[in-house]
Each structure stands twice: as structure tokens, then as C-alpha cells.
Amino acid sequence: MKKIVVGISGASGAIYAVRLLAALAACPVHVYLIVSDTGAELLKMETGIEAPGLEAWLSQNTAFHKEARISVCGIGDFYTPPASGSFLHDGMVIVPCSMKSVAAVASGMADNLMLRCADVCLKERRRLILVPRETPLSLVHLENMAAVTRAGAVVLPAMPSFYFKPKTIEALADTVCARILDQLGIAHTLVPRWGEDHV
């Protein structure tokens, strides 16, 4: 069973987190979920879902795989498994990723569990995907994204694609989530691939 760490930080774009978690919950994957305080506020504001009830919402509203698991980790709990480099997992994604979080990762500031887990990914050379949703970008933002890229992270901006003519906002968000799943090495059928017959 793959183990994936998912962080939700305080940036607009909670739909990306919800759609990604729905896709992961449909697979035999163990998700370690970390939600920042501001991430929880935006999750409720943008989707109506309360962070403490996210697992229950997924089990009621998605095709929850019988072997899927979600372990919710407190933002201040440094004793949870992903906080240690000795814990083996298959990758981490922060979605959406605030520019504050990008800056913290770039500078090695690991003062909460989400940032500590990201820091561990870099030092252990594990897959770390940051999904910023911000525009326009300042030079500070760009330099921080360049710094995390040099350190080994993948910066995957929340830039949806339109060539498959998505009909709903969920389908539009899935075009980004599909790229995240590709980076995590998780098979999916969220969107058609370029060149497939039905495109």
C-alpha cells in the first residue's frame, strides 16, 4: 500500500485538495493528512467542509476504496510518523500551497508538522510536490520557488488545462489533480491523456 502525505495550507484553492483526496481515497492508499489552521478556515469557506469531518465527508461522497485509509495528523503533532526521516512513504504534496509555506520550505523553517514533513522530504530525497495558487507572482515568490526546486521539490502550480473541455469546476480542478497523481506515480483515469482516441 502506498503512503502519501497530504498537506492543506492557507491558500485559496481548497477544491484541489478535496478532489485530490477523493482520487486518493478511491485507491488502496494510506493518506496522512495535515491541515493548517488557515487551511481549515479556507476549506470551510470555499467548500463548506469542516476539516475535522473531511474523512467522513470523503467516505460518504466518494468511491472510498475498501483498503484506503486516512490518518489525520495535528498541525502541532511532531510525534506522528511522517515527522521522522525513518518513516518511509511514497511522497508528499501540499495543495494548495501558500506562498508563506513555499517561503518556509525554501528557508528550512519547519515550525509546524506540515513544514517539518516537507523538510524531511527534502533531506531524505523523497518526492515533494508544492501546488501554489497565487497570481501575480512577485520576484520573492519566484525566487522561493526556484530555491525549493533546486532543493529537490516539484513546483506544480494550480494551472488547470482546458483542451479537454471540462464541463464542471470539479472536472477543471481534476486537470491539476491528474498531474499531481502522475507525479506521485498513482494510476488514475481523471482526465484523458493527450493523443487518446476519444480526445
Q: Model confidence over 82-132: pLDDT tens digits?
A: 999 999 999 999 999 999 999 999 999 999 999 999 999 999 999 999 999
Q: Model confidence over 51-89: pLDDT tens digits?
A: 999 989 998 998 899 999 999 999 999 999 999 999 999
Q: Is 1 annotated as a binding residue?
A: no
pLDDT at 195: 81
Q: Is 145 annotated as a binding residue?
A: no
Q: Is 74 annotated as a binding residue?
A: no
pLDDT at 196: 77
pTM over 0.85: yes
As to burial, measured by CB atoms within 10 angstroms (0-12 exposed, 13-18 middle, 19+ buried), residue 79 is exposed
Q: Is 11 annotated as a binding residue?
A: yes
HEC readout, the chain: CEEEEEEECCCCCHHHHHHHHHHHHCCCEEEEEEECHHHHHHHHHHHCCCHHHHHHHHHHHCCCCCCCEEEEECCCCCCCHHHCCCCCCCCEEEEEECHHHHHHHHHCCCCCHHHHHHHHHHHCCCCEEEEECCCCCCHHHHHHHHHHHHHCCEECCCCCCCCCCCCCHHHHHHHHHHHHHHHHCCCCCCCCCCCCCCC
Q: Is 179 annotated as a binding residue?
A: yes
Q: Is 167 annotated as a binding residue?
A: no
Q: Model confidence over 149-174: pLDDT tens digits?
A: 999 999 999 999 998 899 999 999 99
Q: Is 98 annotated as a binding residue?
A: yes
Residue 197 has pLDDT above 70, yes or no: no
Q: Is 19 annotated as a binding residue?
A: no
**Distance from C-alpha of 127 to C-alpha of 148, rounded to nearest angstrom:** 12
Q: Model confidence over 2-27: pLDDT tens digits?
A: 999 999 999 999 999 999 999 999 99
- Fold for the domain defined by 2-184: Rossmann fold (3.40.50)
